[in-house]
Amino acid sequence: MSTLWNKGTSATEVVEKFTVGDDNILDLQLAKYDVIGSKAHIKMLKSIDLLTSEEEKILQKELDQILSEIECGYFRIEENVEDIHSQIEFILCNRVGDIGKKIHSGRSRNDQVLVDLKLFFRDKVLEIRESVLELFNTLQRLSEEHKDILIAGYTHGQIAMPSSFGLWLGAHAESLADDMILLKAAYKFANQNPLGSAAGYGNSFPLDREMTTKLLRFETMHYNSIEAQMSRGKCEKSLAYAMASIASTLNKLATDCCQYMSQNYGFISFPDSLTTGSSIMPHKKNPDVWELVRGKANRLLSVPNELALLCTNMPVGYHRDYQLTKDIIFPAINTCLDIIRISTYMLENIIVNKDCISDKKYQYLFTVEEVNKLVLEGMPFREAYIKVGKDVNEGKFSQYVDKYQSVNDLHHTHIGSIGNLATKEIARKMKRAWED
C-alpha cells in the first residue's frame, strides 16, 4: 500500500487492512477540503521562500484541476492508497514530478487531517443550520396557522388542561432555537485553524500561521501547537452534543406525532402516501416515518458518549484511536440531516383535526378554567378547587364543556400561553442564538 510515511519497510496485508479501516471510503468526504487546505499551505510556503513563484503556480494549477475533478465526481482514492492525503500528493507527484513532494513541507499529516476536519465540520454545521431553520420556519408557520384550534394537554399520560396546535408546534420551534445555541458553539469550535501545529509540537520552519488562518477564513487559530492536536475528538464531541440536542427535540416531536396519529388521540393525520399499512389489518395507518425519526434520534443521543469513551485516557499528542472518530461522527452527521429534512417534509403535509376536543373523554379538560373563573369572581382558590372537584365527582361538570370550543373562549393572555404564543419573540430568539 502507498503511504506518505513509508520508510522502505512494508506492513503485512493484515496490519494494513486493520489500520487503514474505512479511511479510503470516509476520506472522500474530505477530498475538497484537503485540496483547499493544501492551496493555502503552499501559498504560505511561497511567502516564506520554501517554494518559488513558478513552483507555487504549477502546484496551484494542478490542485485546481484536482478540485475540479472532485466537484465533478471523477475523483477516487485508489485501492492501494491509504487515505485522501496520500492520494492527492501521489497525484501531484505523478503529474508535476518532484515539485509535488514539496507540498508537505512544514506540516504533518496530523495537522493536515485536522484542517480537513475543521473545514468539513464548519460546512456541515452550516448545512445542519439551514435544515434546522427550514424546520423551525415550518413549525412557526403551522403554529400560527392552527393557533385557534384546541387540543388536550396531557401530564402523567392523563388528560390535564387545554392546549392548542399553536402552543404544541410553537414549543418544538422554540426548542430548536435552544438547540441552535449548541450548534453555534460547535461552529465556533470548528472555526479555528490548527495548520502549522504539525505533529503537535510545531517545527523549525518560519510558518506564517496568521496567513493561513486568513486564507482559510478561520475566525481564529489554535495558538498552542499541542492544544491544536488536543482539539481532535473534542471538536467532534462539540458537534455531537449539538446534534444530540437537535435529536432530543425531534425525538419528542416524533413521539408526539406517533401518539397524536393514533385512534385514541386523533389529533392529526397524514396522507396515505406518507404512512404504511399492516400486512393483515386493512384499517391501519402506521407512523413508520416518525417511528424511524424517533429511533434514529435515539441513536444520535448515544454519539457524544461513544466519542467520549473513545477519546478518554489518552495523553497529549496524536494517537491512532482518533482515526475512529470519523467512523462515528460522519454517519451521525448524515443521520442528523436526514431526520431534520424528513420531519420538515412530513409536517408540510400534516392534517390537523379541527374538532379534537368534542370527544366525551375530554369533558373534564376545562376544570381549571372553572376554578380560575370562580377565583376571578372573588372565591378563594382552595374553595373554588373543592367546589369544582365536587361537581366532577357528582357528574355535574359536563354542563360546562360546551362553553369552551376555541382558544378565544379561554382568555389566556400571558406570554407563552395558548392566547399569546410569542411567535415573533421566538423567531428573534432563534436569530440571536446564531448571531450572538
Q: So what's the pLDDT on residue 4? A: 52
The reported pTM is 0.91
pLDDT at 227: 95
Distance from C-alpha of 63 to C-alpha of 70, rounded to nearest angstrom: 10
Active site residue: 53, 156, 273, 283, which one?
156
* Distances in whole angstroms, Cα of residue 229 to Cα of each of 62, 226, 350: 29, 5, 47
Q: Which of 2, 68, 262, 278 is catalytic?
A: 278
Among candidate residues 135, 105, 128, 118, the one with its CA nearest the CA of residue 44: 105
User: How would you write the pLDDT of the chain (436 residues) with one tens digit per residue?
Assistant: 545 545 555 556 676 666 656 666 778 899 999 999 999 999 999 999 999 999 999 999 999 999 999 999 888 888 778 788 889 999 999 999 999 999 999 999 899 999 999 999 999 999 999 999 999 999 999 999 999 999 999 999 998 888 999 999 999 999 999 999 999 999 999 999 999 999 999 999 999 999 999 999 999 999 999 999 999 999 999 999 999 999 999 999 999 999 999 988 999 999 988 887 655 565 668 899 999 999 999 999 999 999 999 999 989 888 888 989 999 999 999 999 999 999 999 999 999 999 888 888 888 888 888 888 889 899 999 998 898 888 888 877 666 666 676 677 788 889 999 999 999 999 999 999 999 7
Structural domains of the chain sorted by starting position, each given as residue range(s) with its CATH number in brackets: 13-105 (1.10.275.10), 110-145+167-357 (1.20.200.10), 360-435 (no CATH)
- 305's grid cell: 458518549
Question: Cα–Cα distance between 398 and 362 in angstroms, integer?
Answer: 10
Q: What is the pLDDT of residue 80?
A: 78
Q: Is 156 a catalytic residue?
A: yes
Alpha-carbon distance of 239 to 235, in angstroms, equals 7
Q: What pLDDT is recorded for position 430? A: 97
pLDDT, one tens digit per residue, over 13-28 is 676 666 656 666 778 8
Q: Determine the pLDDT at residue 206.
A: 96
Residue 108 among the catalytic residues: no
Q: Among 142, 248, 168, 177, which residue's Cα sits nearest to residue 425? A: 177
Look at residue 280 in the predicted model and tell me its pLDDT: 59
Q: Cβ contacts of residue 78 below 8 Å, gap of 6+?
A: 2, 87
Q: Looking at residue 150, what is its pLDDT?
A: 92
The whole-number pLDDT of residue 112 equals: 93
CA atoms within 13 A on the CB side of 220: 7
The H or E element containing residue 432 is: helix 423-435
